[in-house]
Amino acid sequence: MQIHVRDAGREDIDGIVEIYNDAVSNTTAIWNEIEVDAANRLAWLEDRQCVGYPVLVAVDEEGAVFGYASFGDWRAWDGYRHTVEHSVYTHKDHHGLGVGTRLLSALIERARHLGKHVMVAGIEAENIASIKLHQKFGFEHAGRLKEVGTKFGKWLDLAFLQLVLDSRKDPDGCKAP
Ligand SMILES: CC(C)(COP(=O)(O)OP(=O)(O)OC[C@H]1O[C@@H](n2cnc3c(N)ncnc32)[C@H](O)[C@@H]1OP(=O)(O)O)[C@@H](O)C(=O)NCCC(=O)NCCS
């Protein structure tokens, strides 16, 4: 089976919805409790693409969506413009096959290409698979917020991990030091 990573299109929406809704209903990866429909994810896809941010999918030869990943601005204020927050999801039937690795690798490249300086991951603190995936790429723990979330009747801690993408000294310049 060949998996490749590419930009998402309308044809991937049903696959993205399936993965998203499974995460909503069965995991603490997303702290939402309401499933969404295709129109919701299409609007999200178009919003991301409209501002030039990637939504990537990992697909097989037949176009089945094995996972997806994306990033958006971390915080809305101007000073945060070089920092993005991302998410990566693999279909529940295809965990542990390297799909998350492929997606995160491609996403980091896109962030670099766009001149971003830092990527932030906000991960439920007990989500060992996601933390290990990020550590594989050099993400470092940057703090843990205790009991800031809730799902399934319990408190959730949020772990922040960050990756600094380049070593430029001038935030708005493009030259390396
Ligand atoms: C986290 C997630 C994206 C990982 O995707 P994946 O396709 O299963 O990951 P990969 O097969 O590429 O594995 C990458 C690394 O993650 C770690 N990992 C994956 N599954 C793991 C598990 N069950 N336990 C511990 N580490 C695990 C390993 O370090 C692995 O690297 P290795 O194979 O070199 O040892 C996937 O489990 C997922 O979609 N989970 C639900 C959604 C989620 O939590 N998303 C992240 C929100 S921030």
Condensed to tens digits (0 to 9), the pLDDT of residues 57-97 reads 999 999 999 999 999 999 999 999 999 999 999 999 999 99
> Which atom of ligand 1 is the closest one to the Cα of 91?
39
Condensed to tens digits (0 to 9), the pLDDT of residues 37-62 reads 999 999 999 999 999 999 999 999 99
Q: Is the CB of 98 under 6 A from ligand 1?
A: yes
Q: Is the pLDDT of residue 175 over 60?
A: no
Phi-psi region of 148 (alpha: psi -120 to 50; beta: other; left: phi over 0): alpha
Residue 76: CB atoms within 10 A of its CB come to: 7
For the chain, the domains span 4-164
- pLDDT on residue 1: 79
Architecture in CATH of 4-164: 3-Layer(aba) Sandwich (3.40)
Q: Is the CB of 29 under 6 A from ligand 1?
A: yes
- Mutating to test ligand 1, I would choose from 130, 135, 139, 156 the residue with most ligand atoms within 8 A of its C-beta, which is 130
